[in-house]
Structure 1
Amino acid sequence: MRPWLRWLRRLLLAGLAFGLLGLLAVGAVIWTAWPQLPDVRELRQIELQLPLSIHSADGKLIALYGETRRYPAPIDTIPERVKRAFLAAEDARFYEHQGLDFNGIFRAVWLILSTDRTRVPGGSTITQQVARDFYLSNEYSYVRKFREMLLAIKMEQELSKDEILELYLNKIFFGNRAYGVAAAAEYYYGKSLDELTIAEAATLAGIPKFPSSANPISNPARAMERRNYYVLPRMLELGIIDRAEYEAALAEPNNAKPHEPPVEVDAPYVAEMVRQAMEERFGADALTGGYKVVTTLKSADQNAAVASVRNGLIEYDQRHGWRGAEGRIEDFATLDAAGLRGALARFPTIPDLQRAVVQEVDAARAVLRTADEAALELPATGLRWTGRTPAQVLKPGDVVRFRLDKDGQPQLVQLPQAQAALVSLEAETGALRALVGGFSFSQNKFNRATQAQRQPGSSFKPFVYSAAFERGYTPATIVMDAPVVFRDRAGNVWRPQNDKEDFAGPMRLREAMVQSRNLVSVRLLDAIGVQFAQRYITQFGFAPESLPPNLSMSLGTSSLTVLSVARGYATFGNGGYRIDPWFIARVEDRNGVVVMEHHPARACPTCAGPAGGTAAQPAVVDGFNFGAVAAPAAPATPAADATAATPGADARHDVPGPPEQATAARAIDPRTAFLVRSLLLDVVNRGTGTAAKVLGRADIGGKTGSTNDHRDAWFSGLGGDLATTVWVGKDDFTPLGRGEYGGRAALPIWIGYMGAALKDVPLSDPAPPAGLLTVTINPATGGLLPDGTPGGRTDYVKTEDYDRMMASGFGVETGEVQEEAFDVF
């Protein structure tokens, strides 16, 4: 044999030996690695990350939380042309290979050997990409690639092709926090999958390779290039589309733009409360587990509350004049659209208060330039409230805000310096119907409805009067409205005053409430005892430490939240029960199964006691029996609110079906609740709340409140099935300004909200409870009169008080009773 043949044979044998050794080595590695691979069958039950969605009671979207936008789509709901577009772009032989595309592998190997590139394209099938996305990292190494290939082979053995493709189409990242093809279709085009055109499907199919740098919003040129020169030609080549469809798709322009899910309810403060409650209950899984939270909010009520708060604050702000432009852009004339958007972006985004720069101005109008390059004419009528012409108020380069009135005309506005909060509860159950924590959540996330501790002023007086009615006082009891001086042991002197520093002399408690006489409240609290009143008022849910143990409590010097005051007023509206505020009705998992549901205790004047539980023990304070009263509840603080509203916070939440209806704990005598409610109705009928008569409802009652130097303005009241409280003030506790009482600053907001919330709601007209009598009284002395006595006034007294009054005899005077000397309005 010739020598070169001998050497050739030896080389072939050596090559064969090395090949066999290599195959044995690879087989050994596979034999070792295969058992260590994960069980890919678990992918059938994989739960992809889904956002937390929050909805109103009537199903409207409030908010979405989570880093991912994803809407999993079963494979049979994805249109064929969409699937084929992705197969053309990523893996045309997907339904033919067994997990590995050897053509692609050989192509990748050849590129590695023939070029100096460290990373080469191609080689990964859709199955391999699924394996990498679910089990491996993006590390570029031969070890990772080998495991990826093994996993792909195993997945093809355990899962069907459609199952693998479904995982891929729902997992892949499309940029802009969109994961999965359904989320991408909605975000980029605002469409469902079956609405996509061929061109749109091809554009989406071109994104996954370069999700951040080649999506049609961040880099439209590159996205169009990939669509027109790669994806669509591949679809034509593979016969997925015909020539006519190809030409039509090429001609279709790029119409992608951001499409956020439409938020239908303006309730960011409530959304944040829900998020905190869900994270406390479910941990980190709360934002990725696909939970759907249904709140107690009514969308129409909540949106009305937000609109009323904003209108009220803007009206307050305009009463105090124009403060000047919000800022300036000196070089605005040289800026293009992108530059102007960037310059205006320095100013906070406030819903309904659009930002603009003044472009031109004269005595009759100003021309505004908005962030989207629109030119808008602001007429002189749009800034009439400033008392000046446009040229006197504005100059080119000023950054201002405007909003459109009901006729679509722009009106100049400015960001109010004051803030406001509104809480509206169902008096019977404590369900939160509306909550506004400030003028704008985007401007300041501090929730003034649940976190701010402010003095309620005279709006606290109904709680003091309620305590007095337990001590035997009646609405007809005469108390002196006259100067009084208190001295403590240290020699300090306190001289409380009425708001107008006048005195009306002896007057009935009903009239004192109607006129909000401070000195009557102080004398009343002094008479019944501060300690008694403090302990009694805790029955409304207030924390004892929030109630000052001195006579100033009668003037509302307690530091309370808006939510806690609304909760207290609900007791007057529901017959004397203490309700717990709550705002999460139920929680559903990603499959729509109810995993948590709240079943509140309900005020029930006709019920004997809590259903399904041990009857509450009578509570006795200073010898006065309050009836069946549970222990004082925790105050309505933010932490307590979250607990009360968090599913699972007590045994009632985790019951799979509706439990036997529980009855709320009784807080006060139902007769006392009725008496105070009747006083609140009178405040609206002829007192400091008469502006609320515009609502045209006989069941509206409430109380104004103001504090020293007008730092706080309140209105709390009842109507229909609601108890609603509004507060207006400044975060830094500076005064609101002269004349900004509760009736001027807070009551218009309350009226605006209640007018909308009580539309078509039946009147609430509870009958006097047992043990309460209707009598005729002498308005001058508060004594009883025979029915029909001229000049007498109808009022209510408890049976035991009537017996005591009868012991004093009828207070009949000769002639008609004169009351003008004491009823000062």
Structure 2
Amino acid sequence: VIYDSEGNILGKLYDEENRVVIPIDQIPDHVKQAVISMEDERFYQHGGVDNKAVFRSIVSLIPGVNMVRGGGSTLTQQLARNLFLTRDIKISRKVAEIFMANKIESVLTKDQILQLYLNEVYWGHNAYGVESASRIFFNKSVKNLNLAEASMIGGLLSSPEYYSPYRDFKRAKWRQALTLQNMVRNGYVTQDEADKAKDQKVYLAGLGKNYKMAHPYFTSYVLSILRQRYDDSILRTAGLKIYTTIDSEAQTVAEDLMAKSIAALRGRNITQGALLSIDPNNGYIKTIVGGVDFSQSEFNRVTQAKRQPGSSFKPFVYLTAFQKKLLNPYSTVMDSPISYPQNGSVWSPKNYDGTYRGSMTVLDAVRRSINTVAVKTLENVGVDSVIETAKKLGVSSKLQNNLSLALGSSELSPIELAYAYGVIATGGNKVKKVSPILKIIDKDGNVLEDNTQFVTIEKVYDAESIDMMLECMKAVVAPGGSGAAAMMSGRDIAGKTGTTSDNKDSWFVGFTPQLVTLVWVGNDNNTSMIGATGGGTCAPIWKKYMSYALSKYPPKPFKRVDSWRNKSVKGIYHNNTSQPANDQETVTITEVTPEPTVSSSDEGITIIEEPKDPDFDNPYTESTETPPPIEGDKIEESALPTISPEDIEIPEPLETQIP
């Protein structure tokens, strides 16, 4: 059983089985007859074993004997195997199967055996038992199936997934016709009835819509972790109770908000979004919205997708400079044109609006998301050092070893980006992992996992450098900042926007000391959005969600470190830019060519890939302004759904079985 953080049931896991038991007298005759006609025509005549079929099946197992397998097991033998035995193809198992079948026939009636069989057998798509199968395929109870539907599922049992109408409808129709033919031969239906059933149109329910699990993006992620850590036998027999970290009310708000927000933004060619919320102090995942609609797409864009983070990567660059004592937030730097010779051409990274603002502080460069300063800073501190910083904070994806890294050219998953931001939120402390699981207990009360008592925290970055970064990131979420749309009264908030100039990805990652929340929007087919930015599109969604989520947390300030505030650090300039103000000293930075990407093939041959043509408008840029609205499709905050605790309908916990 899987529970939320308040002990409410999210779903039930029975060996990954979705099973509903139904009495034999509620199963129509034509359903029983369809199964018998395909699986065991002499069910009512034999005593549990069909001797001719068994002999053929045993001989086929002898090495060197060329005999077609199949058809050896009666319904009773199949039931014995499902209940008591393994599926190993061995003579000893077949002998045991025969013995158990005879025993079952000696103590149970035929109707009792058939009831057990029809409720036990697997029908495909996580449907165990005929009632679950009926709902998976036709969205109705088995007692309401007509002959056409009964004959279709009756033909599935020998290979449920292969013959599934969801996999190949023509193949399923062929099996249906064969089932009806056998039913005619056995005298269960007339030829005319069979012909009419064969021609009758069958309406399928559609996969996904029948899988009822609370908050499926979150719960499916939990299931994926369970399958990685535990054998099927443990999941089947250990009676596990899985207590999760999810805040069900906040999750409901996030799911509703994302669906409505993306619907309002479709005029800008925005079709997908994701939201992730983590407690950075213990790594508990509070909310996962991996897409707009799980029933339409089970792909989890929080945990499975990798996208370019754009300017939301810049904090790793500046953190590195702060730690090396090369800069502080109020050091003066120069926003001016820069160029890098490269393979006979020139790469000239530009700001979003194509302008340059001259002398400014580092804080202003972060607040306005200035690209030129970020690239200069990366050049000065070294690409390897920035990669090391990102890895320390929790980024696990491979990062490109070139200067475009400063502008978010390397793809990351949303969950690792939020994990890394959590270190900034906590003053340099990093939890060992982020997890959706609080505790796992087996049926005997043994604790298999406990993340409530044993949270490992490591100090990975110095508090002074983190506080400098917070000083800059708080300015992002302030008047004039690129993330000003996320401002909330009475809250200490920091964050960073991210947008690629080709408008394929927009981000806002914002946080308080208690909660890190990431919002991403884009398209699965990687087409460009229209005028979307992290500050103009994602930040308002972030604010809507956090207005609800933070209602459960008292306001709390970030930890302040004053040791750096009275120190001056010289500004950084590029030697091919305009000169700085007279009262600042120049730190000369040698022009360098971005390093080529190095990769290795499976054969161990090192391949040097030439850097991309530098004479292009760099795609990793960030806007500091909200784009003008498109007529009839504005993105102002007022266009997003208004959500308050009183407006939210929290569904009752679902007593469900999870696929």
- 1:151 matched to 2:151? The reply is no
548 and 302 in structure 1: CA distance in 2 versus 1, 3 angstrom threshold: same
Could you say what secondary structure the match of 1:293 adopts? strand
- 1:550 matched to 2:496? The reply is no
Show the counterpart of 1:582: 435
Show the counterpart of 1:222: none
- 1:748 matched to 2:540? The reply is yes
Q: Is the 8 A contact 2:427 2:559 kept in 1?
A: no
Aligned with 1:462 (options 305, 315, 329): 315
Q: Is the 8 A contact 1:465 1:676 kept in 2?
A: yes
- 1:301 matched to 2:94? The reply is no
5+ residue gaps, structure 1, are 1-52, 74-81, 90-117, 138-142, 157-164, 188-199, 204-208, 214-256, 321-415, 601-657, 783-823
Which amino acid in 1 is paired with 2:434?
P
CA distance in 2, matches of 1:592, 1:183: 29
CA distance in 1, matches of 2:536, 2:499: 10
Show the counterpart of 1:518: 371
Q: Is the 8 A contact 2:493 2:512 kept in 1?
A: yes
Aligned with 2:220 (options 258, 266, 272): 272
62 and 690 in structure 1: CA distance in 2 versus 1, 3 angstrom threshold: farther
How far did 1:781 drift?
A: 9.3
CA distance in 2, matches of 1:708, 1:679: 23
Show the counterpart of 1:541: 394
Q: Which moved more, 1:702-711 or 1:446-455?
A: 446-455
Q: Note the 1:274-673 alignment, pairs <5 A.
A: 274-285=222-233, 288-289=236-237, 291-318=240-267, 320=268, 418-472=271-325, 473-488=327-342, 490-543=343-396, 546-579=398-431, 580-589=433-442, 591=443, 593-594=445-446, 596-599=448-451, 658=453, 661-673=454-466
Q: How does the TM-score come out when normalised to structure 1?
A: 0.48
CA distance in 2, matches of 1:555, 1:484: 14
Q: Note the 1:229-244 alignment, pairs <5 A.
A: none
How far did 1:428 drift?
A: 0.8
560 and 150 in structure 1: CA distance in 2 versus 1, 3 angstrom threshold: closer
Q: Is the 8 A contact 2:333 2:373 kept in 1?
A: yes
Q: Is the 8 A contact 1:267 1:302 kept in 2?
A: no
Could you say what secondary structure the match of 1:725 adopts? strand
Tell me how large the CA RMSD over aligned residues is: 4.8
Could you say what secondary structure the match of 1:764 adopts? coil
Instruction: For residues 68-109 of structure 1, give each alpha carbon's deviation from its aligned partner in whole angstroms, at most 9, with x where no partner exists.
Output: 445899xxxxxxxx99x99xx9xxxxxxxxxxxxxxxxxxxx
Q: Is the 8 A contact 2:427 2:467 kept in 1?
A: yes
How far did 1:565 drift?
A: 0.9
How far did 1:178 drift?
A: 7.9
CA distance in 1, matches of 2:294, 2:248: 18
CA distance in 2, matches of 1:500, 1:210: 65
Q: How does the TM-score come out when normalised to structure 2?
A: 0.59
How far did 1:747 drift?
A: 1.7
Q: Is the 8 A contact 1:479 1:524 kept in 2?
A: no
How far did 1:728 drift?
A: 1.3
CA distance in 2, matches of 1:463, 1:181: 56
Could you say what secondary structure the match of 2:519 adopts? strand
Q: Is the 8 A contact 2:10 2:219 kept in 1?
A: no
Show the counterpart of 2:563: 772
Which amino acid in 1 is paired with 2:414?
V
Aligned with 2:517 (options 724, 743, 750): 724
Instruction: For residues 162-211 of structure 1, give each alpha carbon's deviation from its aligned partner in whole angstroms, at most 9, with x where no partner exists.
Output: xxx99999886289988799999x99xxxxxxxxxxxx9x99xxxxx999
Q: Is the 8 A contact 1:485 1:493 kept in 2?
A: yes
Structure number with bigger Rg: 1
- 1:762 matched to 2:554? The reply is yes
Show the counterpart of 2:119: 173
CA distance in 2, matches of 1:732, 1:277: 27
Q: Note the 1:175-214 alignment, pairs <5 A.
A: none
Percent identity over paired residues? 29
146 and 757 in structure 1: CA distance in 2 versus 1, 3 angstrom threshold: closer
Could you say what secondary structure the match of 2:254 adopts? helix
Q: Is the 8 A contact 1:476 1:508 kept in 2?
A: yes
CA distance in 1, matches of 2:318, 2:242: 40
Instruction: For residues 481-523 of structure 1, give each alpha carbon's deviation from its aligned partner in whole angstroms, at most 9, with x where no partner exists.
Output: 11122224x3331111111111111111111111111112122
Q: Is the 8 A contact 1:479 1:523 kept in 2?
A: no
Q: Is the 8 A contact 1:170 1:179 kept in 2?
A: no
67 and 527 in structure 1: CA distance in 2 versus 1, 3 angstrom threshold: closer
Instruction: For residues 225-247 of structure 1, give each alpha carbon's deviation from its aligned partner in whole angstroms, at most 9, with x where no partner exists.
Output: xxxxxxxxxxxxxxxxxxxxxxx
- 1:706 matched to 2:560? The reply is no
CA distance in 2, matches of 1:582, 1:66: 22
Which amino acid in 1 is paired with 2:521?
V
CA distance in 2, matches of 1:519, 1:558: 18
How far did 1:714 drift?
A: 0.7
CA distance in 2, matches of 1:781, 1:136: 74
Higher relative contact order (CA 8 A, sep 6+): 2
445 and 178 in structure 1: CA distance in 2 versus 1, 3 angstrom threshold: closer
Which amino acid in 1 is paired with 2:533?
Y
Q: Is the 8 A contact 1:467 1:537 kept in 2?
A: no
Instruction: For residues 45-78 of structure 1, give each alpha carbon's deviation from its aligned partner in whole angstroms, at most 9, with x where no partner exists.
Output: xxxxxxxx443223241575767445899xxxxx
122 and 714 in structure 1: CA distance in 2 versus 1, 3 angstrom threshold: same
How far did 1:465 drift?
A: 1.2
Q: Is the 8 A contact 2:366 2:472 kept in 1?
A: yes
Could you say what secondary structure the match of 1:772 adopts? coil
Show the counterpart of 1:134: 80
Instruction: For residues 286-343 of structure 1, give each alpha carbon's deviation from its aligned partner in whole angstroms, at most 9, with x where no partner exists.
Output: 664454433222111222222222122112113x4xxxxxxxxxxxxxxxxxxxxxxx
- 1:692 matched to 2:486? The reply is yes
448 and 150 in structure 1: CA distance in 2 versus 1, 3 angstrom threshold: closer
5+ residue gaps, structure 2, are 30-40, 49-73, 84-94, 145-149, 155-204, 573-623, 626-659
Could you say what secondary structure the match of 1:435 adopts? strand
CA distance in 2, matches of 1:709, 1:740: 10
CA distance in 1, matches of 2:275, 2:12: 20
Aligned with 2:10 (options 57, 61, 72): 61
Q: Is the 8 A contact 2:79 2:120 kept in 1?
A: no
How far did 1:480 drift?
A: 0.6
Which amino acid in 2 is paired with 1:276?
S
